[in-house]
Structure 1
Amino acid sequence: MNWQRLHLRSGLVVGMMSGTSGDGVDVALVRFTEDGHSPDNGCGGNNGRQVIFPQMELISSLYVPYSNAQRRQVFELFKPTVSARYVAEMDVEIGKWFGAAAAKLLAEAGVKFEDIVAIGSHGQTVYHAPDRGITVQIGNPAVIAAVTGCSVVSDFRRADVAVGGQGAPLVPYFDYAYFSSRDKTRVVLNIGGISNITVLPQGAGIGQVAAFDTGPGNMLLDALAQTLSDGELAFDCDGQLAAQGTPAAEVIDGWIARDKYVHRTGPKSTGREQYGTEFLSNYQRDMTGMGAADQMATLTQFVARTVAIGIHQAVKDRFELIVSGGGRQNQMLMKWIQEFAQPERLVRPEEQGIPSDMKEAMAFALFAWQFVKGRATNVPSATGAGYPVVLGQWTPSPAAQEGYIWNSTSV
């Protein structure tokens, strides 16, 4: 790495995220400016850890949806019988997709590759088993570097897992930096493929932050919508199908009673290994004889109740709820989350200058900037890691070094 970057006071970083929903890539171009900001404001709770956050400004953003063919390729990765060869091939292929998405954003923003400090790429998770020391995200960073001409920071989760953490959720670091408050306890809920929360106690330091995956999110609901419609629906748009049905409370009660994950206290994390196609098949058997709308309503309320259970495990005081992720568009899911979780107030991330749909991409831009600065970005109280570590691995751009950029239009 060019160590002169350590002394940068301001710079542009690209953040990229593709979550467990596997529907596309969020790309954010962010300017960071060093000002020594810490949200602690003398509140303490850092256990001696120096916590410095830059000012952040979103310059431009882009969502690149996967085509139906690309989604089929991605979902092949989630099958238990997937071959190592296929994973290796898709590592390169997804690297091309990510690289092309970043190059498109830079072109649309009129920004030259040499003006980018780094790209922070989360990649696509294909397997997450932190209790066995395993978490795998693919999307070859060397390919991304070759396509864009930019250096890349990637592979953010393994360092946390290596020191005993869950490797997830990671975004609580970002949540603490930009959503914490001296006056209010806040819960930051992200509803992606998996739902997760960050609990920011009033006036707390980063060492007092709690966070964990509460359970399923869009991933399960999307799979049911696709199954019920024979593939015609990719998801239940705005919760319209669920709104036409009636949830079966006794079925939901049974699911919750036997769901060991939901009742575990954090730190904890989950994924398709827990709430994938096998899970859906088992639960659909419990809904035999129910119409499509009732099935969707039942599963949607189940997701809402697992979110509320997670919140009530971690928060005993009044709280504000900040919601991001694609799931916030599902009106029935949001209605039931508010009904069962009972927040004092619902807060839009946009009130803090952070578009809901770009929050995670912006978070990985922050992680890349902090990597360059040599700062730890995991939150051990959230992941269960033994201690703070710098997250990510650096891939220098051969394109930048050689004055040559791979033609991204060919990928």
Structure 2
Amino acid sequence: MDTSYHVIGLMSGTSLDGLDITYCRFTYKSHNWIYEILNTNTLPYTDTLIDSLRGAESASGLKLVELDHAFGRFMGQQVHQFVQQHAIRPDFVASHGHTIFHQPEKHVSLQLGHGAYLAAGAQLPVVCDFRTLDIALGGQGAPLVPIGDELLFGHYDYCINLGGIANVSYNRNGARLAFDTSACNMLLNTLANSVGLPYDDNGALARSGTLHPKLLEDLNQPAYFSAPAPKSLGKEWVLAHSLKSIGESDASVADKLHTVCHHIAQQLQHALPKLHEGQHRVLLTGGGAFNGYLVEQIQQQLGPMYNVEVPSPEVVSFKEALIFAFLGVLRWRGEHNCLSSVTGASRNNIGGAIYLA
């Protein structure tokens, strides 16, 4: 028999574009999962909330707990309004939260937005805290999206997400592999913000710049890029390496944006092995997929054997929220939603805490 779930997925990325909300239907039919995106919205954050989230890593323990609860309450209120606006009846909410710390080598990864406060505000059950169990099992706790790539987007050879941090996912010899390849929108948006822009629209400013070889060399220098997977990046690493190199460069903002696009594309090229003869299908999603100059550089770096495909704007913008909704479904069913082949944990695991409203 077909089994269907109606779920709201929530995603708040490191680029702080806002809270992505997507209402999805997942149907298990003939041993395959089918997804439908039914309703979506992105809620921009206020300047006050952006400042609070940006400054959270240096907040006191008390302030961090207060923000964790307040952000959970905020998400719950937004979900409640979304449900009323669209007159829908979700089975539950699945939330990624907002990452403040990610240092798996220290067994630390914190996503703000407490599930209890989210459940109370939304008046719905909540699945959240997807990373902690995997880290407790010795894994990176990231990336988490690859099982969704495998089960929902498996007809692509590679799935690349250009979010605050870029990552790639692919199947090799029957095992799913995935890892973060470089910072992405965290760099591009920081540079755009420095000249009063929310983002570099279609990469126009980057396109107007020229390559700065010294900056490119500095961006490509860190040992992370040559380290084997499993591996993942956090905001702390980006601040200490990529953003530090950008800040120390005397290049213009346009030249920095231009060079960063080359850096992102080069690291993706290094990350994608040739899996088979013939053409390779590459799915490109995340906010960076709207940056025309960056997409061109990725296609150019990968070469003609790789067909870079940008799907509908809905999938580009909401794929991560969609997949966290799907991770919630797998958790709800008691099925593995985190792959040891990706994270390096001692075993596949069923991540996520459940709060019943």
Q: Distance in 2 between matches of 1:332 and 1:316?
A: 28
Give the Cα separation in 2 of the matches to 1:241 and 1:131.
37
1:20 aligns with 2:2: no
Partner residue of 2:252? 291
2:309 aligned partner: 347
User: Take 2:39 and 2:184, find their aligned partners in 1: how far apart are those partners?
Assistant: 27
Shift of 1:268: 0.6
3-state DSSP of counterpart to 1:381: helix
Q: What is the CA distance between 1:250 and its match in structure 2? A: 4.4
The answer to whether 1:127 aligns with 2:97 is: no
Partner amino acid, structure 2, of 1:347: E
Normalised TM-score (structure 1)? 0.81
CA offset at residue 315 of structure 1? 5.1
Shift of residue 9, structure 1, vs aligned partner: 2.9
Counterpart residue number, 1:43: none
Q: Answer yes or no: is 1:221 the counterpart of 2:188.
A: yes
Deviations 1:139-187 (A, max 9, x none): 0111111111101010001111111111110100000012213xxx611
**What letter is aligned with 1:90?**
L
User: Which deviations, in whole Å up to 9, do the C-alpha atoms of 1:170-221 show, x marking residues without a partner?
Assistant: 100000012213xxx61100010000000134xx64xx11100001110011
Residue 278 of structure 1 deviates from its aligned partner by: 6.2
**Mapped pair 1:272 → 2:235:** yes
- 2:264 corresponds in structure 1 to 303
**Which runs of structure 2 are paired with 1:103-182 in the superposition (5 Å)?**
103-111=80-88, 115-181=89-155
What letter matches 2:18 in structure 1? Answer: G
Q: Structure 1, residues 238-275: CA drift from partner, whole Å, max 9, x if none?
A: 2111111101234313432x211111121110021111
Counterpart for residue 193 of structure 1: 164
In structure 2, do the counterparts of structure 1 residues 77 and 277 end up closer, same or farther at CA, with 3 Å as the change threshold? farther
Alpha-carbon RMSD: 2.1
Q: Which residue of 1 aligns with 2:56?
A: 77
Cα drift, residue 55 of structure 1: 2.7
Matched, 1:380 2:343: no
User: What do the CA deviations read for 1:362-411 (whole angstroms, capped 9, x no partner)?
Assistant: 111111111111101111111111111111001110xxxxxxxxxxxxxx
Partner of 1:9: 3
Structure 2 portions without partners, runs of 5+: none
Which of 360, 381, 392 does residue 352 from structure 2 map onto?
392
Q: CA deviation at 1:354?
A: 6.7
Gaps of 5+ in 1: 1-6, 39-53, 398-411
Which SS does the other structure have where 1:197 is aligned?
strand
Contact 2:73 2:120 in 1 (8 A): no
Q: Measure the CA separation in 1 of the matches of 2:120 and 2:28.
A: 29
Q: What is the correspondence of 1:235-274 to structure 2 with a 5 Å cutoff?
A: 235-256=199-220, 258-274=221-237
For the residue of structure 2 that corresponds to 1:116, the secondary structure is coil
Paired residues in the alignment total 355
Provide the rounded CA distance (Å) in 1 between the counterparts of 2:213 and 2:353.
46
* SS at 2:91 equivalent: strand
Deviation at 1:102, TM superposition (A): 1.3
What is the SS of the residue equivalent to 1:378?
coil
Offset of residue 89 of structure 1: 1.3
Specify whether residues 272 and 60 from structure 1 end up closer, same or farther in structure 2 by C-alpha distance, changes over 3 A only: same
Deviation at 1:303, TM superposition (A): 2.0
Equivalent residue letter for 1:23: D
**Greater alpha carbon shift after TM alignment, 26-35 vs 364-373:** 26-35
Judge conservation of contact 1:220–1:276 (CA < 8 Å) in 2: no
Task: Determine which of 179, 193, 203 is the counterpart of 1:212.
Answer: 179
Contact 1:323–1:347, Cα closer than 8 Å, also in 2: yes
Please state how far the C-alpha of 1:95 moved relative to its aligned partner. Answer: 0.8
Identity %: 30
- Look at both structures and tell me which one has the larger radius of gyration over its CA atoms: 1
Offset at residue 225 of structure 1 (A):
2.1
Q: CA deviation at 1:69?
A: 2.0
CA distance in 2, matches of 1:124, 1:319: 33
Q: Distance in 2 between matches of 1:374 and 1:178?
A: 18
For 1:20-59, what aligned pairs fall within 5 Å after superposition? 20-38=14-32, 54-59=33-38
Identify the residue that residue 93 of structure 1 maps to in structure 2. Answer: 70
| Letter in structure 2 aligned against 1:214 | T
1:348/1:336 CA distance change after superposition, 3 Å: closer
What one-letter code is carried by the residue in structure 1 that aligns with 2:165?
Answer: I
